[in-house]
Structure 1
């Protein structure tokens, strides 16, 4: 199904901060590759307990200074006091960041249960309310079309999302999914629960099917049987790559036809897949005017 340029949803891309010099080059290549597509913003993740805080800040500042993009900084509740967490937000504001993706966060490595810091935020809803007290941020929160793994039920998970929106979040970005009907049913359920904020679909172009299956199992995202068959029949890496582009681009096209106005692509710092998905649905890259400076 073709869609016109006017009907294309706006874009955002998620990156993660590098851990090595090679990773820094990969991140910057991702920015250079995807910025010409004109994303509304890009986001940079944040490790549990601030374990990537310095690298996240460097990545954000470099993207702002060199690529002139709007950047959303991630922020979690894990392993920090309220004041420490809010100081990170103030630091984002000093860098010119006006968007934050506010998440409760996963337990630190080696732990299986989230335990709030004694002086920290206990939930994403509390974090959102705290952020509202220190700055005029546009706040996005996480949403789970197939329910968060720790949720007692799908209904209670939507209730939790409503608490985050009511606390001051302006939008929600979903966990990845592969069946658009899953997203559309979730969007309808959110509307029925009184959630009026936009629900933005998170799209994951599949870089490695085996690794994706492990990730999907951890976050309770279902993988349709036809995808198992399709990737099983992909005889070469090139065939698997084309399959990934086709699946993600068809998702985006179908969602746009259902009125979705923005999609968020999880890049895993692999720009080629995300770029080719966007090209497949009609985006045309414009030249990227870089400011002077070094790589992230």
Structure 2
């Protein structure tokens, strides 16, 4: 790792600063650079479970590379279950592609020494952008959250740790409907503002299907803290290709699909023993396109797409929006 001389936090603990590669662009800088005639877009990958899944991921990576997203992120997996694979592939994205990778970092299952070492390993391969999350408990994402004996309790603490380590661009999560552990929206808004004040430069929302929830989130943060409310809040979208998949996704988030959206998907799925995947997929692309159009009209700083390691659905939405998509997606 590359270290500066030790300095100290407000509590007096020694902290070694890590120097990311100077040529690495931050997410905020990339958003500005991509903000021309079109709102920037970004994509999210998931760590694959096996060799076949990894091959599919890299096919999607190369397709998206030709589309020039503002950045790409690699998730951690439930409870940090894929942390080693996540770290390896994120480093490969930095070293072997022209994409701007954002590394996920969660508090689940990590002590402070391991967290600092992981940040250092990212810095060594030029990764400057880190998305800080408290993370979900392993096994049951909606279950009781337990702090690592040598770790941290809140994402706000992790933001401060990363910022104390060096010149990193830090993102955090935001929740248009409020986090399922927050007692109310006011408390949830205060938590987000605290993460931003701690040094986060932007936030990426949890997946949602009601644009009003996103707009009200922006309003709440701006009213709570106008300075922090000016930072980018990036909406996360998922083009639905399967009713079963989206139902599982919302179960893990503790939120429900709005009735009008669910009705459209169920109508497309049909009454047979198996859903009409082609019809559901068409409806899902249409819904994602409509949401993106509204978000663009409302001034969203970027469109962040959950891809499930496929390029085709996202590229179809972008094409519907008038983006020039130069890739030729192979599947899904």
Please confirm whether the aligned pair reaches a TM-score higher than 0.5, indicating the same fold: yes
Q: CA deviation at 1:49?
A: 5.9
Structure 1 residues 187-244: Cα deviation after superposition (integer angstroms, max 9, x where no partner) = 1111111132111101111132123123213323331222222112215322211111
Residue correspondence of structure 1 range 111-260 to structure 2 within 5 A = 112-194=143-225, 195-234=229-268, 235=270, 236-260=276-300
Partner of 1:97: 127
Partner of 2:16: none
- Greater CA drift, 163-172 or 48-57: 48-57
The residue matched to 1:115 in structure 2 has which SS? coil
TM-score, normalised to structure 2, is 0.81
Q: Structure 1 stretches of 5 or more lacking a match?
A: 289-296
2:307 is aligned, of 256, 267, 270, to 267
Partner of 1:35: 65
Q: 8 Å contact 1:16–1:46 — kept in the other structure?
A: yes
Q: 8 Å contact 2:79–2:139 — kept in the other structure?
A: no
Partner Cα separation in structure 1 for residue 234 and residue 218 of structure 2: 9
Q: Does 1:276 align with 2:316?
A: yes
Cα distance change of structure 1 residues 201 and 225 upon mapping to structure 2, 3 Å threshold: same
Partner Cα separation in structure 2 for residue 59 and residue 218 of structure 1: 24
Q: CA deviation at 1:7?
A: 4.1
Partner of 1:52: 82
Structure 1 residues 64-97: Cα deviation after superposition (integer angstroms, max 9, x where no partner) = 3332111000000011111111111111111111
Q: CA deviation at 1:155?
A: 0.6
Cα distance change of structure 1 residues 47 and 213 upon mapping to structure 2, 3 Å threshold: closer
TM-score, normalised to structure 1, is 0.90
Structure 1 residues 34-77: Cα deviation after superposition (integer angstroms, max 9, x where no partner) = 22221111001124564323211221233233321110000000
Higher RCO (Cα < 8 Å, 6 or more apart) = 1
- Greater CA drift, 213-222 or 102-111: 213-222
Structure 1 residues 97-124: Cα deviation after superposition (integer angstroms, max 9, x where no partner) = 1111100000111582111112101110
Q: Structure 2 stretches of 5 or more lacking a match?
A: 1-34, 271-275
Partner Cα separation in structure 1 for residue 150 and residue 312 of structure 2: 42
Flag as ranges the 4+ runs of structure 1 deviating above 6 A.
none
Q: 8 Å contact 2:95–2:125 — kept in the other structure?
A: no
Partner Cα separation in structure 1 for residue 325 and residue 82 of structure 2: 31
Q: Which has the larger radius of gyration?
A: 2
- Greater CA drift, 114-123 or 98-107: 114-123
Partner of 1:73: 103
Partner Cα separation in structure 2 for residue 24 and residue 218 of structure 1: 23
Cα distance change of structure 1 residues 110 and 264 upon mapping to structure 2, 3 Å threshold: closer
Partner Cα separation in structure 2 for residue 176 and residue 49 of structure 1: 18
Cα distance change of structure 1 residues 248 and 44 upon mapping to structure 2, 3 Å threshold: same
Partner Cα separation in structure 2 for residue 218 and residue 69 of structure 1: 29
Partner Cα separation in structure 2 for residue 199 and residue 9 of structure 1: 13
Q: 8 Å contact 2:241–2:277 — kept in the other structure?
A: no
Structure 1 residues 114-162: Cα deviation after superposition (integer angstroms, max 9, x where no partner) = 1111210111000000001112111110000101010011110010001
Partner Cα separation in structure 1 for residue 255 and residue 311 of structure 2: 23
